Chain A
Amino acid sequence: MSEPNAAALDQLGASVSARRRFLRRFLRQRPALYALGFLVLLALGAVFAPWVAPHDPLAQNLDRVLEAPSFDHFFGTDELGRDVASRTLFAARISLLAAFQAVVIALLIGVPPGLVAGLFGGQTDNLIMRITDALMSFPPLILAVAIIAVLGPSLTNAMIAVGILLSPTFLRLMRGTAMAVAQETYVEAARSIGCSQSWIITRHILPNVVSPLFVQISVFAGVAMLAEAGLSFLGLGAQPPDSSWGAMVGRGFRYISHSPSLIVFPGLAIAVTVLAFYVLGDGLRDSLGREVRREQ
């Protein structure tokens, strides 16, 4: 009886680590895989843009302005005769980097106080949540414009504004998850063996709150990208000669009747990329979600 029997051994032989289980589930999520593949390709394309792009994105050719897509210029040319395909690819660098900046800022601002509120509760929690409520009760666009007005118009400043706006959601998510995890029996079990408070937080609570965070990060990368596009469209984001997709749509807007391809392609790039982030987030959630539901 003290020896594990054959059936138990079989069961263990075929079982795998939590991470591999998650991976196996994730690999079965077709749409999420395509989304991830697209995002990886896009990131590679952005990084290697100087080698991949068919033309110099800044090379003007005033003989061939506002052309429709052709074999020479897949996405056509803009009002200065620059190749829209190359510009879209180079703009991906700015757009992706901007989304990354905003998410990192949102994480930095949102996660620590969220954890503190969730773990300590009481008056600390009350104070943090009231500040958050106040922040969230501002109309987001006005708040963003105000922040940019203070910091000056630049892409980084715009992304700081977006990061601040997104941070309450991270805060709330962290607070909720930390509260739930702190209620788990294994946290009480850790107290019962004599673990210190800081040990419990770093060893038991943090590792168990990061999974839902990844889902939110993916979704918010999409949201940040949309916000960046909106702000750049308004001229509050990327400044020339840099160009993001949003800025391209903004400039192309003036020629919309003449040459719709100017906004169609960067617009499409935004739509597809944001969608990819959302789909990836959904896939992550589903692969994690079943982990929680398992065993039943």
Chain B
Amino acid sequence: MTAPLLSVENLEVTFKIRGGLLRPTRKLKAVNGVSFHIAPGETLAVVGESGSGKSTVARAVMRLVAPSAGRIDLDGDDITAMQGEALRRIRPKLQMVFQDPYSSLDPSMIIADVVGEPLTVHGAATGAERDRRVQDLLEQVGLGRYHMNRYPHEFSGGQRQRIAIARAIALSPKLLVLDEAVSALDVSTQNQILNLLEDLRRELGIAYLFISHDLGVVEHIADRVAVTYLGRIVEEGPTERIFAKPAHPYTEALLSAVPVPNPRIQRSRKRIVLPGDVPSPLAPPSGCPFHTRCPHVMNVCRGEMPSHEPVAGGGSVACYLGRQ
């Protein structure tokens, strides 16, 4: 196996929730001991529902929030505690596309400046050279030079996400973090963007850290999948294995909860409807975080968080089921 491009070990991110007059300040552990690797050119999808901490993982990898424990290595550099100029210097390798294409582009800037900003900031190109590069980038994402002098609000959601992608690939990053990058889009435009990402990966060899709640999309785009629940990875493995033979009861329930767009199949298939809601990350359950909703819960589950053990077919699972 080649050396990983990104390696995350035992990552923890803690937020302080400011208390009010009568409420004490509380600590929220949004990410709790998460580890994963991404090889060059590989796509890892991190899936989960709200409160799973998947977006915080993305922002920690981007060093937009500070990890409270653990270690993040990118391309041989430990970036866990990097600051200022050093952090700025590794930024070109590591770029991000945000969920909401309406708020992630500065409304006061024209597209040429939005897409050209990374080039300017890192001194990669200026003047006519920069404009030429911007034009190439826009063409690469399916837009044209006539878009350069327009403002973000003049574009549809899908077009804006293309602009955000053009900006993110301007410095030829090795890793692109996509935080729910297609979930704000309509189905018809969503697929255009997914195909574009597929093309870019083939042409440029970029690795993706793909954060999503949409399993249909994930199955399509990911090489490997990590399933998160309440700040922890409960199962991880090759996409085919995860979807065909989920090893964790949560993964199984998650897959069965996604409605299949075919009424005959959807109405006849067996579904697992989990009771209750995801517990609050402010007061996570002891032991396995899923035990409060798990159909197979055992006594041991309430004690300690199970360790990750390998699964036949690849990957690993953190579940006591079928052990001992």
What's the A-B contact tally at a CB cutoff of 8 Å?
A: 89
Q: Is A207 an interface residue (CB 8 A)?
A: yes
Flag the segment in A10-18, A168-176, A225-233 that touches B: A10-18
| Cα distance, A3 to B143, chains bound together (Å) | 7
Q: Is B128 an interface residue (CB 8 A)?
A: no
With contacts A1-B192, A12-B154, A295-B102 taken as known, whether A193 is within 8 angstroms of B117 at the C-beta atoms is yes
- Say yes or no: A189 contacts B96, CB within 8 Å: yes
| Cα distance, A137 to B88, chains bound together (Å) | 45
Q: Is A39 an interface residue (CB 8 A)?
A: no
Q: Is B37 an interface residue (CB 8 A)?
A: no
- Say yes or no: A195 contacts B144, CB within 8 Å: no
Q: Is B118 an interface residue (CB 8 A)?
A: yes
- Residue among A1, A185, A196 with max Cβ neighbours from chain B (10 Å): A185
- Closest chain A residue, CB of each to CB of B113: A203
Interface residue tally for chain B (C-beta within 8 Å): 41
- Say yes or no: A8 contacts B106, CB within 8 Å: no
A8 partner, pick from B95, B105, B117, B156, beta carbons under 8 A: B156
A194 partner, pick from B91, B98, B100, B103, beta carbons under 8 A: B91
B121 partner, pick from A1, A21, A199, beta carbons under 8 A: A199
- Say yes or no: B143 contacts A4, CB within 8 Å: yes
Q: Is B107 an interface residue (CB 8 A)?
A: yes
Query: Within 8 Å CB of A192, what residues of B?
Result: 62, 64, 91, 95-96
| Cα distance, A125 to B33, chains bound together (Å) | 35
Distance in Å from the Cβ of A180 to the closest Cβ of chain B?
Answer: 12
- Say yes or no: A194 contacts B156, CB within 8 Å: no
- Say yes or no: A12 contacts B102, CB within 8 Å: no
Q: Is B284 an interface residue (CB 8 A)?
A: no
| Cα distance, A173 to B280, chains bound together (Å) | 35
Distance in Å from the Cβ of B103 to the closest Cβ of chain A?
Answer: 4
- Closest chain A residue, CB of each to CB of B192: A1
Question: Size band of the A side of the interface?
Answer: 20 to 34
Would you list which residues of chain A between 1 and 35 have a CB under 8 Å from chain B? 1-4, 8, 11-12, 15-18, 21
Query: Within 8 Å CB of B146, what residues of A?
Result: 12
Query: Within 8 Å CB of B121, what residues of A?
Result: 193-196, 199
Would you list which residues of chain A between 178 and 228 have a CB under 8 Å from chain B? 184-186, 188-196, 199, 203-204, 207-208
Query: Within 8 Å CB of B117, what residues of A?
Result: 190, 193, 195, 203
Q: Is B245 an interface residue (CB 8 A)?
A: no
A190 partner, pick from B100, B106, B154, beta carbons under 8 A: B106
| Cα distance, A11 to B150, chains bound together (Å) | 12
Q: Is A294 an interface residue (CB 8 A)?
A: yes
- Closest chain B residue, CB of each to CB of A20: B151
Distance in Å from the Cβ of B302 to the closest Cβ of chain A?
Answer: 38
The 8 A CB mask of B285-297 against A (1 = contact, 0 = none) is 0000000000000
| Cα distance, A204 to B121, chains bound together (Å) | 13
| Cα distance, A150 to B138, chains bound together (Å) | 62
The 8 A CB mask of B74-96 against A (1 = contact, 0 = none) is 00000000000001110110011
- Inter-chain pairs besides A186-B107, A203-B106, A203-B117, 6 sampled, C-beta below 8 Å: A1-B195, A188-B98, A188-B104, A193-B95, A196-B121, A207-B108
* A positions within 8 Å CB-CB of B: 1-4, 8, 11-12, 15-18, 21, 184-186, 188-196, 199, 203-204, 207-208, 291, 294-295
